Structure 1
Amino acid sequence: MTASPSETSSDGGRERLRAVIAVPLPDDLVELIRTAEPRLEVVSRPDLTPPTRHPADWGGDPAFRRSPEQQAEFDRLVDDADILFGVPDVDADALSRTVAANPRLRWVHTTAAGGGASVKAAGLTDEALQRIAFTSSAGVHGSTLAEFAVFGIFAGAKDLPRLLRQQADREWPGRWAMRQVDELTVLVVGLGGIGKVVAAKLSALGATVLGTSRSGEPVDGVSELVAMDDLAEAASRADAIVVTLPGTDQTTGLIGQQVFDAAPDGVIIVNVGRGTVIDEDAMIAALNSGRIGFAALDVFAVEPLPADSPLWQHPNVLISPHTAALNPAEERRIAELFADNATRLLDNQPLRNPINTHEFY
């Protein structure tokens, strides 16, 4: 649900919606939002948000601590906002506190593509979920994650682990055949913002792309849409499986033993969605048996990946520490998305990337 500007402006006589930047955001991008939508009152207090360690470091330096006075000031800011850019401190408990303290809050934009997880973890009341619109940054990371997915498929097709082992051992073996991507059939599990870009890139490279979709609507580059009930059958025809799904109750463990048992030996697995979508125990067993020939993983069921996880040492696994989405342009893209949605809110138009507050994706 979104409140109209007139409803909000009549609350306490405020003439403009007040948008508070609740996470670190460079000054030039704060100005971008102000310029793009001058009807907003944009409030930014960089002295109250943590310093960043890299672009799009929304949580900032974990060593950062506010003084009691600074924390009280930060709380006052977010508690008087009509709109929040980012979940305060990227912390579900802080979101829960803010929502309870701020009856005027009407919209929260999450900087994560899977922002529904934070909203779910906040444990908000039904009243709050009806009162406040929640949006995510889905799609902003699509191209970056799709490139990692393509990289993972190339790495598997060209047997990157074997090449690295031979190079480390200074071994010059007899010649051996590599697979070609344009001869592969790739199953993309999830044709949302990321999956559509993955499908387009793989199709352009000549791969045959199968894909799952809730809507059943045709997707460019996808040769065949697959129902979720037919996932194992589709896996039996796939040389590679790319997972792009968000983490929800419905997707937890979706890619498990049944799918791996159906897949051909040497199948390539790439996960750029959420780690919980893959049953990691079943995946490790499939890696050990050779059913999975190579896995490129950006996400894991538990993060950081525990030091005792066998995935760290597995010779046919490439680990990316949930960093494949990061790109120097991410902050700007999210600021532009937020500004566009602010205009939509003010013009009583539907917001982009609304979070489903039943399944939280």
Structure 2
Amino acid sequence: MEACATALRRELTGAFSDDEKLNEERLLPGQKRLRVVVANPLHEESYQRIIEREPRVTLLNDLSLLPPIRHRADFSGDPEFRRTPEQQAEFEALLDSADALLGIPDVDAAALGRAVRSNPRLRWVHATSAGGGQQVGRAGLSPSHLERVTFTTSAGVHGSPLSEFVVLGILSGAKDLPRLLQLKSQRRWSERWMSRQISRQKVLILGFGGIGRAVARSLSALGMSVTATSRRADAEHPDVDRFVNVDELTDVIGDMDAIVCALPGTDLTKGLVGERLLARVKPGATFVNVGRGTVVDESALIAALEDGRIGFAALDVFEVEPLPAESSLWTMPNVLISPHTAALAVDEEAAVVELFADNATRLLDGHPLVNVVDTVEFY
């Protein structure tokens, strides 16, 4: 890692002229190089892989200005890391020299806003998370900034591990995991009971982006009847039996044995899963959230868990994170809590790097980028 850091620091020492720094036409199709500042910590092999995949990229970084990396895909780094005022000035100067950023600086909307406003040459920012659009929305950028800079996310990278968490949640609800754990803790051999077969169940997937598609693939393979939301009236997918519009949810949700939320956090989705919708669920339904916590009205969900409308919930995201210690969700036996960690996997960083490299090639060759953020709804 030190060898890599030294090489990258050398890239920063006066190798670029003032004329080049002022050139705002460098991102036209056919350009020779793309200056990329890596704004989130990565492992050395990730730097190497980007250069292998797209040699026209010049990676710029100073590892002393980034928080130490603790594990794979630790894009935020050590939360105890602090820069000195001098280091902060160096970091911002580095960001202001980029054509593109790999990662949102400090994974912070305010830092992203500063970087975009201060660097007129910046044309592309790639977020290492699937939910980077929310940070773009919170960055307070003007329409001209949003038009100048293209923002992309790592949506789709996390689909497989999140779909496995969904399977865990639905199986836990169907096989009554809380009851099994309670009996084990009591060392009690109870009477036998009938469990539910998920192959005979119906599931509703809220949100059919990259995560929703991965979830549908996994659940369809297990024999579940899959209904999913779509804005398109003519939507079709081999893993989905039926598509419905969001306006139809209250009409169909009562038939569902399980509900999976894979929606992004936007103004339109905020509180969508609330009292009105939960009043119509089939008693004992399983609820899994791998989208965003803001989509769910937690007070309404807690009420549904208490009265049995929701029999079991597996939650990876919450309205407030970290989940406050006083939240009653912590003490509910029919709730599985994951600290927003279900998407993490050993190959996540590699997948993010491959996606970034592919988009860098697209940009350099003048082709449309994938996973572009909608700068109206910010997802």
Using structure 1 for the length normalisation, give the TM-score.
0.96
What corresponds to 2:301 in structure 1? 283
Partners in 1 of 2:32 and 2:262 — Cα distance? 42
Task: Quote the offset at 1:313 in angstroms.
Answer: 0.3
**Aligned pair 1:159/2:176, yes or no?**
yes
Which of residues 250, 259, 262 is equivalent to 1:232?
A: 250
Residues 110 and 134 in structure 1, CA contact (< 8 A), matched pair in contact too: yes
Partners in 2 of 1:308 and 1:57 — Cα distance? 28
Residues 311 and 317 in structure 1, CA contact (< 8 A), matched pair in contact too: yes
Partners in 2 of 1:234 and 1:82 — Cα distance? 48
Task: Quote the offset at 1:67 in angstroms.
Answer: 2.1
Residues 92-133 of structure 1 show CA distances to partners (whole Å, capped at 9, x for unaligned) of: 111111111100000000011011111011111111000000
Give the alignment of 1:165-204 within 5 angstroms. Answer: 165-204=182-221
Residues 175-220 of structure 1 show CA distances to partners (whole Å, capped at 9, x for unaligned) of: 0111011011000111110011111111111111111012342122
Residues 119-161 of structure 1 show CA distances to partners (whole Å, capped at 9, x for unaligned) of: 0111111110000000000000000101100110000000000
Task: Quote the offset at 1:17 in angstroms.
Answer: 1.7
What corresponds to 1:3 in structure 2? none
What corresponds to 1:292 in structure 2? 310
Residues 254 and 278 in structure 1, CA contact (< 8 A), matched pair in contact too: yes
Aligned-partner SS, 2:279:
helix
CA RMSD of aligned residues (A): 1.4
Partners in 2 of 1:171 and 1:183 — Cα distance? 29
Aligned-partner SS, 1:206:
coil
What corresponds to 1:356 in structure 2? 374
**Aligned pair 1:107/2:107, yes or no?**
no
Which of residues 103, 127, 130 is equivalent to 1:86?
A: 103
Give the alignment of 1:1-361 within 5 angstroms. Answer: 8-9=25-26, 16-216=33-233, 217-361=235-379
Partners in 2 of 1:82 and 1:199 — Cα distance? 38
Residues 227-280 of structure 1 show CA distances to partners (whole Å, capped at 9, x for unaligned) of: 111111111110000000000000001111122111111000000000111111
Q: Which runs of 4+ in 1 moved over 4 A?
A: none
Task: Quote the offset at 1:15 in angstroms.
Answer: 5.2
Partners in 2 of 1:105 and 1:296 — Cα distance? 40
Residues 204 and 259 in structure 2, CA contact (< 8 A), matched pair in contact too: yes
Counterpart residue type for residue 90 of structure 1: V
> Which runs of 5 or more residues in structure 1 are unaligned?
1-5
Percent identity between matched residues is 56
Residues 25-81 of structure 1 show CA distances to partners (whole Å, capped at 9, x for unaligned) of: 111111111111111111132221101222211111111112222222211111000
Counterpart residue type for residue 159 of structure 1: D
Partners in 2 of 1:143 and 1:328 — Cα distance? 12
What corresponds to 2:13 in structure 1? none
Residues 272-331 of structure 1 show CA distances to partners (whole Å, capped at 9, x for unaligned) of: 000111111111111111110000000000000011101000111000000000011110
Residues 27 and 123 in structure 2, CA contact (< 8 A), matched pair in contact too: no
Aligned-partner SS, 1:262:
coil
Partners in 1 of 2:117 and 2:344 — Cα distance? 32
Partners in 2 of 1:88 and 1:284 — Cα distance? 35
Partners in 1 of 2:25 and 2:81 — Cα distance? 34
Counterpart residue type for residue 56 of structure 1: A
Aligned-partner SS, 1:343:
helix
Residues 229 and 243 in structure 2, CA contact (< 8 A), matched pair in contact too: yes
Counterpart residue type for residue 76 of structure 1: A
Counterpart residue type for residue 288 of structure 2: V
Partners in 2 of 1:79 and 1:24 — Cα distance? 18
Residues 205 and 261 in structure 2, CA contact (< 8 A), matched pair in contact too: yes
Aligned residues between the structures: 354
Counterpart residue type for residue 240 of structure 1: A
What corresponds to 2:7 in structure 1? none
Task: Quote the offset at 1:9 in angstroms.
Answer: 2.5
Counterpart residue type for residue 261 of structure 2: V
* Higher mean C-alpha displacement, 31-40 vs 153-162: 31-40
Partners in 1 of 2:232 and 2:131 — Cα distance? 19
Partners in 2 of 1:233 and 1:120 — Cα distance? 32
Aligned-partner SS, 1:8:
coil
> Which runs of 5 or more residues in structure 2 are unaligned?
1-22
Residues 126 and 151 in structure 2, CA contact (< 8 A), matched pair in contact too: yes
Residues 112 and 138 in structure 1, CA contact (< 8 A), matched pair in contact too: yes
Partners in 1 of 2:116 and 2:232 — Cα distance? 32
Counterpart residue type for residue 263 of structure 2: L
Aligned-partner SS, 1:341:
helix
